[in-house]
Amino acid sequence: MTTSPDLLPPSLLDRLGGLELIARTVVRGFVAGLHRAPFRGAGLDFAGHRAYQQGDDLRHVDWRLFGRTDRYYVREFREDANLRAWLIVDATASMGYAEPGGIAKLRYASIVAAALAHIMLGTGDAVGLATFGERVKLEAVPRSRRGHLHDLLVALERLRAGGRAGAADALDRAADALPRRGRIVLLSDLLEHDGGDRLVAAAARIRVRGDELIALRVLSPTEAGLRPAPAAAWYDPESPDHAVPAELVADTAFAARVRDYYDALARRLRSHGAEYVALSTDEPVENALRRWLAARRSP
Amino acid sequence: MIVPVFGAPLWLLAGVLATLAPIVLHLVAPRPPARAPLPTARFVEPQARARRTLTRRPHDLPLLLLRCAFLLLLAAAMAAPRLVPGRSGTADIVLLDAAIASDSSAITRARAVAGAAAVVIPFEGGYARALRELPQLAAERTRADSVRAWWLTAPRWGAWLPGTSTLRAQAWPAAMGLIPATHPAARAAAPAAPAGSAAVVAGAGAGDDVRAALVALGHDARTVRTPAEAAGAALVIVLDDVDDERLTSLARAGATVLLGGNANGIARTLAADGILLRDAAGTSIAAPAGADVVAAWSDGGTAALARAEGAGCIVHTGIDLARTATAAPAEFPALLDRLPGACAPSTDPVADLPLDAAGRAWLAGGAAAAPVDVRALSVEAGLPIGRWFLVAALAMALLEWARSARRARGTRAARTGTAPP
């Protein structure tokens, strides 16, 4: 997958306007770069025959029935529109971080979530939204009715970063609200205070139930140690009392330590059958969607 | 206008130099690290020491400004500042020998030479004492920032020169003028020389004020109706419109003929304008051929022209002498004494006098003939304001201490990784 040169960087995309416009722009760009439409129903059930009408696709003509009846009949299929999905967006204090000249992680995650909601509702899935910041909140239960996308976008626009709740509780609450097998997409920086143990355990529970879990990790290049930063006393927004004086240019092992943490977490998640996709806030959102597409599984 | 002056201005220089120290310190001192958010801070290894570098911008600019302000205010307080009234312009002081102070013509003569606005100060007790008191008198008796000094006395070099050369140089570092006056005793001893005869040519009922001024100057003055009646007078003042030929023949006979403004058809009153006497060289004002500009108004317009005529001279002036006599009685006698003198080859009072070289050199003072800056000579009491600078310096010191303490707390917090209070 290559990045089209005319895709907007996230910081410019954010200036387009509201999430509705941004999501539409992103989805258009995402779809335009694909060789075939990604919109494929979750499953096709045979629903019966009807008489052939002028213009019907000849591929759907049931020739066996024609041989028996000397009349043209076409097969009709019913798409299974009953996939229920939760988008879980991390709204803790660390997601409010934006590197100099960049877009805040929460904003980036909201744009990705808006585009995913747009796409999944377009395929007939029911999509809900849950967030965790000060506490876990089920913002909108999965629905597929007309107008539900607007409700999701409004809820995403209203998100503000704060608090230090863990992702595990949000995963458990969302999974409990899925009556049958569904899909959970987690958008978070995955900076768990326990090193990710509770998160991995929740992922395991979800996978045991048969739900699909995709973790989209959102991080900025500066946090990953890929961009130099001047000397400062650095502090975690979720633990502001403790500051570490350092100059990130001088600390070459910093990037390696960050990478090691995420690599280990990814291994643990994948070992339970969850998918892990690393997103960077400086890469176009369309690329994030393509990586989501590659990781998606049909149930 | 009030202006500040400093009794010990070198302290100001010391204060400016002292501010270099905090400036240099703020450029090289290590900066305490600023707090910045980073969600992945748990992966950062703390670094033991911040580097010391020479930076282009001093850190903690407000603290640096407070320190510099403290040093400058302290230096200003040590420099003994005072508020004194502002001075401007140039004034003339005439030191009048008290032995001849009763002679009113001497004062007239003083103002005639030094200017109508000259401050005449009688002195007694000798020249040395007068010389010592002169700087303080110049500061107290005038509001000018530069002063020219004159002596009005009968020059007795035997009393002046011995032992006063050093004092002369220290007390008044510029040339001084001399307005010679005859000592009354000498005048009494000399045979009564006839005062110059003068005639005022005017119409009926006019010219009396001018005649009275001439008499006050010691002239034997009379009022006449025609130039012919003025024959024999040394000074002829013409207020009326008369025949030029008659006046020319009077001048050729040796008289100084002074034509007033009315006679020329132009009339300006002295009281409304100033008048400056220039020497025969006459500077930037163009004069017609054969005539010299010998007086100018303060706006630069020609006030009087003089041309030699035979043994005498003719002075044309645009001054309405008759009206000026009534409108500016204080200045009129001096004016009248100066204008005829414009016919003389030079109006330099020093060069004119029968002085020997030593006397001239004493008056010249060995320095440029320029007015003296009064403030350079004397110390005016004024209003001392040093204590206010000291109070301001203490206030700066308090603010500096408070800010330094806060900065130190912040640095300790950053080092230990705790949030500052």
Distance, in Å, from the CA atom of B28 to the CA atom of B203, rounded to the nearest integer, reads 91
B418 interaction partners in chain A (CB closer than 8 Å)? 241-243
Residue that has been written with the tokens 């029968």 in this structure: B354
Distance, in Å, from the CA atom of B376 to the CA atom of B370, rounded to the nearest integer, reads 14
Strand A275-280: give its sheet, edge to edge: A136-143, A126-132, A84-90, A183-188, A212-219, A275-280
Give the closest-approach CA distance of A228 to chain B in angstroms: 13
Provide the pLDDT confidence category of residue B395 given band limits of 50, 70 and 90.
very high
Phi, psi (deg, nearest 5) at residue A192: -85, 140
Distance, in Å, from the CA atom of B25 to the CA atom of B21, rounded to the nearest integer, reads 6
Instruction: List the single residue in B with minimal CA-CA distance to A195.
Output: B42
What is the pTM for the complete model shown? 0.47
The set of residues, in sequence order, having a beta carbon less than 8 Å from that of B100 and lying 6+ positions away, is: B106, B152, B153, B154, B181, B182, B183, B184
**Mean pLDDT, rounded, for A292-297:** 66
pLDDT digits (tens, 9 = 90+) for A146-164: 789 999 999 999 999 999 9
Give the closest-approach CA distance of B31 to chain A in angstroms: 10
**Mean pLDDT, rounded, for B37-41:** 91
Which of B35, B45, B50 shows the shortest C-beta gap to A235?
B35
Tokens of B376: 């350079």
Per the CB < 8 A criterion, the answer to whether B108 and B217 are in contact is yes
pLDDT recorded at residue A39: 44
Q: Give, in order, the Cα–Cα distances in Å from A45 to each of A36, A80, A193.
A: 22, 7, 46
B39 to A248: CB separation less than 8 angstroms, yes or no: no
pLDDT recorded at residue A43: 42
Which of B34, B40, B46 shows the shortest C-beta gap to A258?
B40
Q: Report percent pLDDT > 70 for chain B.
A: 69
Tokens of B252: 């050729």
B45 to A231: CB separation less than 8 angstroms, yes or no: no
Amino acid at site B65: L
B34 to A244: CB separation less than 8 angstroms, yes or no: no
Cβ count near A78 (within 10 Å):
12
Q: Give, in order, the Cα–Cα distances in Å from B156 to each of A287, B127, B183, B355.
A: 111, 10, 10, 10
Does residue A87 sit in helix, strand or coil? strand
pLDDT recorded at residue A47: 56
A106 interaction partners in chain B (CB closer than 8 Å)? none
B50 interaction partners in chain A (CB closer than 8 Å)? 231, 245
Per the CB < 8 A criterion, the answer to whether A13 and A20 are in contact is no
- ipTM, 2 dp: 0.78
Kindly write down the DSSP assignment for every residue of B297-312, as one continuous string: ETTS-EEEEEEEETTE
The residues pairing with A131 across neighbouring beta strands, listed in sequence order, are A89, A137
Instruction: List the single residue in B with minimal CA-CA distance to A231.
Output: B33
Does residue B277 sit in helix, strand or coil? strand
Give the closest-approach CA distance of B380 to chain A in angstroms: 58
Q: Give, in order, the Cα–Cα distances in Å from A114 to each of A154, B51, B246.
A: 10, 46, 118
pLDDT recorded at residue A2: 42
Q: Kindly report which listed range (A262-276, B102-116, B124-138, B368-382) carries the lowest average pLDDT score.
A: B368-382
Distance, in Å, from the CA atom of A132 to the CA atom of A188, rounded to the nearest integer, reads 10
Provide the pLDDT confidence category of residue A240 given band limits of 50, 70 and 90.
confident
**Mean pLDDT, rounded, for A233-244:** 83
Torsion of CA A204, A208, A211, A214, to 10 degrees: 20
**Mean pLDDT, rounded, for B337-350:** 58
